[in-house]
Structure 1
Amino acid sequence: MRARVAANIDFVVGEIDPRLYGSFIEHLGRAVYSGIYEPGHASADANGFRTDVIDLVRELDVPIVRYPGGNFVSAYNWEDGIGPKEDRPVRLDLAWHTSETNEVGIHEFADWAEAAGTQMMLAVNLGSRGLDEARAFVEYVNHPSGTYWSDLRRKNGREDPWGVKMWCLGNEMDGPWQIGQKTADEYGRLAFETAKALRAYDTSLELVVCGSSTPTMATYPAWEATVLDYTYDSVDYISLHMYFKNHDKDLPRYLSLPAQLDDYIQTVAGIIRMTKAKKRSKRDVYISFDEWNVWYHSEAQDKATLQGEDGWPIAPPLLEDIYDFADVLQVGAILNTFIRRADVVKVGCLAQLVNVIAPIMTVKDGPAWRQTTFWPYYYASRYGRGTALNLALDCPGYDSAVATGVPYLDISAVRAEDGTVAFFCVNRHETEEIALDVALQGLPLSRIVMDKVIAGHALDATNGPGEEPVAPVDGTGAEVVAEPGGGRLTAPIAPLSYRVIRLGD
């Protein structure tokens, strides 16, 4: 099978915001406790953070992390997580039917984010609380001094404000599972008034309004139209969430789900353009895809805890999907979709970062290790920054139960500031190799500077704390030939494989 691709230096999607490769830490399961935070662990620093986890987060070069939720935030009192730890209350978390000790709050998370080399993206509770909680939280976090909340922060040990720019106005407020669920009109009004108050404090804040929790919601896409009608001139992003499942083990169907993701993005992008025209606005609103991942492996084992059969445990194992090789292909194709839509999707958060549907796993009192999905996330984050190229693709495809005309080759390309170009490739075909043939138009590229591939594993192959067999190796067979006005890249893309090829001059 042959796939012909044209990559032209002048045909671009747009600049990629580095925050497209962000992630998410929620007070859920072991994401925080025995995930990022485990005092007494052999690798723990003076603040109780696992440095083995920090090292892996730094390896991924995660630019921003959303916190503290997620469903958790919709009944969360941020004030419970400040002040002396011995005085902090234990609360029942209604979202995940667990107990929250509040040993980690905003101060601790901010210290962890600094150690991990990432920015904070904070969410306010618009479920059980509202505008006053939001403005107090922003003042506590961002105001220098001289007010009640800023001086309380200084009393609690942080002299300088953290200066957090990105704030989420609630979480999944359309969902019946959400504490404080609202109609689109209820939420739109509340989000508008909250945004107005936060803008009165600081016009430079970047505000994220809730879009649909999934494109399968009965209120989608009317929700987006209504909420943006209230908030368009007051916010910067609308959030979208989507998770990918393969319960029936139908691989062609599973690997075609990114086509639904693309439809979701394009539909909401259309609503954004419609609202901008309706408002006669000069502002642009973008998409923050701040929850996405594969999530289905652990659902059966979590039922007892989530249904309350285990009482109210503290930091039990929840949503601890163990990812396999098939999920490498899926995550690679999802990231390619975001790159190809980088003109409208500016922020992304892989949900989540540690232990909970995560690329990084830990053993309590033991090692941290890389899941199979660590690798496509790693390569996109490391080499997918710059300008997304608008590729022309000619490749055979197939129809599935959820999409038609799905090309067997899923590909994206990013031109970095140093002129190198990275091609991210997924071959969806189960048995056929793809002969990749890329015309490099106006791109003075003459050598391969990196070639990594993950292929040849059983679909259910996994990694673990003792061994990580699903990992990249050097690719073979790729060639680049320089020609006047450009050149040509050819490479064999193995069946069911993920491959990254970087070219330089």
Structure 2
Amino acid sequence: MKSKLVVSHINKISEVDPRLYGSFIEHMGRAVYGGIYQPNHPTANKDGFRKDVIELVKELNIPLVRYPGGNFLSGYNWEDGVGPVEERPKRLDLAWKTLETNEVGLHEFYEWTKETQTEINMAVNLGTRGIDAARNLVEYCNFEGGTYWSDLRKKNGHDEPFGIKTWCLGNEMDGPWQIGHKTADEYGRLAEETAKAMKLVDDSIELVLCGSSNSQMPTFGEWELTVLDHAYEYIDYLSLHQYYGNHKNDLQHYLARSLDMDEFIQGVVAICDAIKAKKHSKKTIHLSFDEWNIWYHSNERDKAVKPWQVAPPLLEDVYNFEDTLLLGCLLITLLKHADRVKIGCLAQLVNVIAPIMTNDDGGAWRQTIFYPFAQVSNYGRGQVLRPMIESDTYATEDFAEVPYLESIAVVNEEANELVIFAVNRSEEKMDFTAELNGYQIKAVKEFTELAGFDLKAVNEEGNGAIKPTPSTNYQINETQLTAAFAPLSWNMIRCEL
């Protein structure tokens, strides 16, 4: 099978916003307690955070982490997580029917982000709370001093402001499962007034408005139109959430789900621009895809978890080889929309539908999906080139033409490097050609492939066999590169220019 990727130096989509490679930590399951934080673990630092997890997070090169939720957010009082730890209240978390000890709160999480070289994408509760709690939190985090909340931050041990710049106005407020669920009009008005108050405290912050919880919501479209109509001039991003799974155990159908993500993004962009036109606005709203991943392996197991425990195992999907292929396609799809999708949050980061898993009594390890994300996060920096793809296609019940080749190229002029990411959806070997108009290839610095594994094979502690391996199956001829892609493979080619 033959395929071709054609790109040109004069046809660029956009510079990649590094926040596209963000992630998400919610107070649920073992994401915090037993995940990033475990004071009795042999690797724990002085603050109780696992250093083995910190090192793996650094490998992912994540610039931004959304915190503290998620559904947890809509019943959370941020004040419970500040002040002396021994005085913090234990609370019922109604979202996940667990007990929250509040041992980790804002100050502790901020210290963790310094260790992992990332920043906080802070979320405010618009379920059970509203304007007052949100503006107070901004003052606590970002105001220099001399006021009640900023001085309380100093009293609690942090003299300098946290300087948090990216903020989410609630979580999935369209969902009937959400504590404090609201209609689009109710949420739109609350978000508008909350945004105004927060920016009066600190006009440098950027705000994310809740879009639909997924594209299958019965209110999708109408929700976006309504909430944007209310809050357009006071917010900066609109959120999208979507999870995928191989529920049909149909590989071709599964690997085509990235086309669904593509349609979702295109639809939301069109809605944002319709409101822009309606309002005669000069402002363009960008997108924050702040929950996306694969989630389906743990669904049945979670039904047996007993309620009202502290940090029970929840959503602990163990990812297999075929999941890496779809994750690669989803990453490529996000890059195709780098002009509008500026923030992305792989949900989540540790243990809970995550690339990193831990054992309470053992180590931390890389799940199969760790690798494509790490490669794109580390090397997908720079300008995205608009792809023209020539490839055979196949049909599914949802899409008439699914290309066997999914591919994108990113040029990093500072590193003098052009990087190609590609998935071969076919069960046949693929003869791949890249025509790089306006670029001259000096050498291939690295060509790795993730291929040749049983589709259901997984990585486990002490057995991480599913990972990229080097390939020499390529040739270069100045502006053209040819390579052999293995059947069902994730590929990365780094070219020195």
User: If the length of structure 2 is used for normalisation, what is the TM-score?
Assistant: 0.99
Q: Hey, what does 2:19 align to over in structure 1?
A: 19
Question: How many angstroms does 1:170 deviate by?
Answer: 0.1
Q: Hey, what does 2:267 align to over in structure 1?
A: 267
Q: Does 1:426 align with 2:418?
A: no
d(CA) in 1 for partners of 2:83, 2:4: 60
Q: Deviations 1:464-502 (Å, cap 9, x if unpaired)? A: 1111010110012111111xxxx1010011110000001
Identity %: 54
Q: Hey, what does 1:382 align to over in structure 2?
A: 378
- Asked whether the equivalents of residues 257 and 403 of structure 1 are also in contact (C-alpha less than 8 Å), the reply is no
d(CA) in 2 for partners of 1:32, 1:393: 42
Q: Name the amino acid aligned to 2:375.
A: Y
d(CA) in 2 for partners of 1:2, 1:231: 48
Q: Does 1:342 align with 2:320?
A: no
d(CA) in 1 for partners of 2:349, 2:157: 27
- Asked whether the equivalents of residues 90 and 102 of structure 1 are also in contact (C-alpha less than 8 Å), the reply is yes
Q: Hey, what does 2:154 align to over in structure 1?
A: 154
Q: Deviations 1:287-314 (Å, cap 9, x if unpaired)? A: 0000000000000000133xxxx23000
Q: Name the amino acid aligned to 2:150.
A: S
Q: Deviations 1:267-303 (Å, cap 9, x if unpaired)? A: 0000111111111111111000000000000000001
Mapping 1:40-439, distance limit 5 Å: 40-305=40-305, 310-417=306-413, 418-430=415-427, 432-439=428-435
Q: Hey, what does 2:489 align to over in structure 1?
A: 497
Q: Name the amino acid aligned to 1:428.
A: R
Name the stretch that deviates more: 276-285 or 293-302. 276-285
d(CA) in 2 for partners of 1:105, 1:241: 25
The list of structure 1 runs, each at least 4 consecutive aligned residues, that deviate by more than 3 angstroms after superposition, is none
- Asked whether the equivalents of residues 169 and 207 of structure 1 are also in contact (C-alpha less than 8 Å), the reply is yes
Q: Name the amino acid aligned to 2:29.
A: G
Q: Deviations 1:198-248 (Å, cap 9, x if unpaired)? A: 111122110000000000000001111111111111100000000001122
d(CA) in 2 for partners of 1:89, 1:461: 43
Q: Deviations 1:375-429 (Å, cap 9, x if unpaired)? A: 0000010000110000111111111122221100010111113231110010111
What SS class does the counterpart of residue 231 from structure 1 fall into? helix
CA RMSD of aligned residues (A): 0.7
What SS class does the counterpart of residue 304 from structure 1 fall into? coil
Q: Hey, what does 1:446 align to over in structure 2?
A: 442
Q: Name the amino acid aligned to 1:197.
A: A
Question: How many angstroms does 1:433 deviate by?
Answer: 1.2
Question: How many angstroms does 1:323 deviate by?
Answer: 0.2
What SS class does the counterpart of residue 187 from structure 1 fall into? helix
d(CA) in 2 for partners of 1:40, 1:5: 51
What SS class does the counterpart of residue 303 from structure 2 fall into? helix
Aligned pairs, number? 496
d(CA) in 1 for partners of 2:326, 2:474: 23
Question: How many angstroms does 1:144 deviate by?
Answer: 1.2
- Asked whether the equivalents of residues 257 and 402 of structure 1 are also in contact (C-alpha less than 8 Å), the reply is no
Name the stretch that deviates more: 324-333 or 273-282. 273-282
d(CA) in 2 for partners of 1:311, 1:8: 55
Q: Name the amino acid aligned to 2:186.
A: E
Q: Hey, what does 1:478 align to over in structure 2?
A: 474
Question: How many angstroms does 1:365 deviate by?
Answer: 2.5
- Asked whether the equivalents of residues 209 and 238 of structure 1 are also in contact (C-alpha less than 8 Å), the reply is yes
d(CA) in 2 for partners of 1:271, 1:201: 30
Unaligned runs of 5+ residues in structure 2 are none
- Asked whether the equivalents of residues 142 and 202 of structure 2 are also in contact (C-alpha less than 8 Å), the reply is no
- Asked whether the equivalents of residues 242 and 292 of structure 2 are also in contact (C-alpha less than 8 Å), the reply is yes
Name the stretch that deviates more: 268-277 or 23-32. 268-277
d(CA) in 1 for partners of 2:4, 2:370: 29
d(CA) in 1 for partners of 2:398, 2:293: 18
d(CA) in 1 for partners of 2:153, 2:201: 17
Q: Deviations 1:132-180 (Å, cap 9, x if unpaired)? A: 0100111111111111111111111111110000000000000011000
What SS class does the counterpart of residue 272 from structure 2 fall into? helix
